[in-house]
Structure 1
Amino acid sequence: MSPTTETLTAERILEATEEVLRRHGPAKATVVDVARALGVSHGSVYRHFRTKAELRAAVTKRWLDRTSRALAATADDGERAPALRLRDWFRQLFEAKRDKAGADPELFATYSVLTDENGEVVGAHIAELVAQLTRIVEAGMASGVFAPGDPASVARALFRATAHFHDPCHAREWTRPEIRDELDSVLDLLLRGLAA
């Protein structure tokens, strides 16, 4: 084994895969390209990820998990009022998605293709986001700030009601100057509806 192969980790492979995807796009990027970028054989990559599809799913999950992890701190901040946490959580979700779309449009387009291929990964990501929202709604209901109800159902409804601000199919609209005001208006309406 070469020294490079000995230190090859799944994380290094995912980093290289992201770069290869950025450079070549999802249609042309291959496992051989990833291996070449790492200076290893493609067999070394396959020791960590059995198939190209598995590698693409893992890089998609890694990309989506960045958003989930960033939002978890807000969702679990028991020191802050639930209504404020809910508002901040949605604002952070919007900004994270907007930044991904605007900062690197080529990579965002690539991940749009990858998320279409990896429905299970996307489903798990959405489930994690809804679980975070559920924790905020539960805290609001427990404190009497939000009206009683089924927290999970309420969280799913909130997520769907705000899709315009986080679903990538709306990304072209996120650069409009008034988009943040529109998000705040929707959140004001939703929070009034949740109030006990």
Structure 2
Amino acid sequence: MKQYYILIGKEEFIIADSTISRTSILDAAEEVLRRFGMAKSNLSDVARALGVSHAAIYRHFDNKAALREAMAERWLNHVMEPLNAIVANNDEPEIRLRSWLDTLRAFKRSRALTDPELFAMYMALTAEAADLLHRHVEDMLEQLTVIIADGIAAGVFAPCDARESARAFYLATTRFHHPSHAGEWELSDSDINYEITWKLLMNGLTIRS
């Protein structure tokens, strides 16, 4: 069986022709974009990194735009996976809501802090995929709607339009998780602002005796 070499970072791996997959292409594309930047990277660079021809790439992606959108989608899916688990667990609604927000915030802060170059790259990729980004936000709003609706049903949250409250909650917390605010996340007052925003939102949502 014919073999190819793939270079990911400083590690070189041998892969067989039959194992050239979307995942291996996306991994290679990420490294190519990291090395050459958004403007200078192209499908030829990705094919070269994998040791294959253009045809091997085109079997999975129609063009450069499709590859970039797939990269953005994979990044957003990484964000959604832990959030989906939180929505589905059996914790009390207020605990799930706090865990959802903490997890989203921690994911974004961690990526921005540990690999700012890669974080900036994915910011640019998601900005290119407007429809994909819109669906991602809608999915997060649906998650929040489910948690808030559960809280209303349990008598923990005051009766309200769960969808409207979800949108208000998302918008009110945007500065703590939206990449455009990444420059503010490590400021000295960031944690304090996070806590007072959370308290205000809970005062609005919870039923007070």
Contact 1:31 1:45 in 2 (8 A): yes
Paired with 1:16 and 1:152, the residues of 2 have a C-alpha distance of 39
How far residue 190 of structure 1 moved from its aligned partner, in angstroms, is 0.2
| 1:176-195 superposed matches below 5 A | 176-195=187-206
Q: Deviations over 1:75-134 (max 9, x none)?
A: 2212x1111111111111111111111111111111121111111111111111111111
The match for 1:47 is 59
How far residue 26 of structure 1 moved from its aligned partner, in angstroms, is 1.1
Q: Give the partner amino acid of 1:188.
A: K
The match for 1:161 is 172
The TM-score normalised by the length of structure 2 is 0.89
Greater per-residue strand proportion: 2
Q: Give the partner amino acid of 1:52.
A: K
Paired with 1:152 and 1:14, the residues of 2 have a C-alpha distance of 35
SS in 2 for 1:176: coil
Paired with 2:40 and 2:111, the residues of 1 have a C-alpha distance of 22
Paired with 1:181 and 1:86, the residues of 2 have a C-alpha distance of 18
The match for 1:143 is 154
State whether structure 2 residue 49 is matched by structure 1 residue 37: yes
SS in 2 for 1:61: helix
Moved more, 185-194 or 122-131: 122-131
In the TM superposition, structure 1's runs of 4+ consecutive aligned residues that sit over 6 Å from their partners are none
Which ranges of structure 2 fall in alignment gaps of 5 or more residues?
Answer: 4-15
Paired with 1:124 and 1:25, the residues of 2 have a C-alpha distance of 26
Paired with 1:106 and 1:143, the residues of 2 have a C-alpha distance of 44
Which ranges of structure 1 fall in alignment gaps of 5 or more residues?
Answer: none
Could you tell me the percent identity over the aligned residues? 44
State whether structure 2 residue 88 is matched by structure 1 residue 76: yes
The match for 1:171 is 182
How far residue 13 of structure 1 moved from its aligned partner, in angstroms, is 0.9
- Over the residues paired in the alignment, what is the CA RMSD in angstroms? 1.3
Q: Give the partner amino acid of 2:181.
A: H
How far residue 174 of structure 1 moved from its aligned partner, in angstroms, is 0.6
Matched positions, count: 195
How far residue 5 of structure 1 moved from its aligned partner, in angstroms, is 2.7
Paired with 1:195 and 1:145, the residues of 2 have a C-alpha distance of 6
How far residue 181 of structure 1 moved from its aligned partner, in angstroms, is 2.4
| 1:10-159 superposed matches below 5 A | 10-78=22-90, 80-159=91-170
Which protein, 1 or 2, shows the higher relative CO under an 8 Å CA cutoff with sep ≥ 6? 1
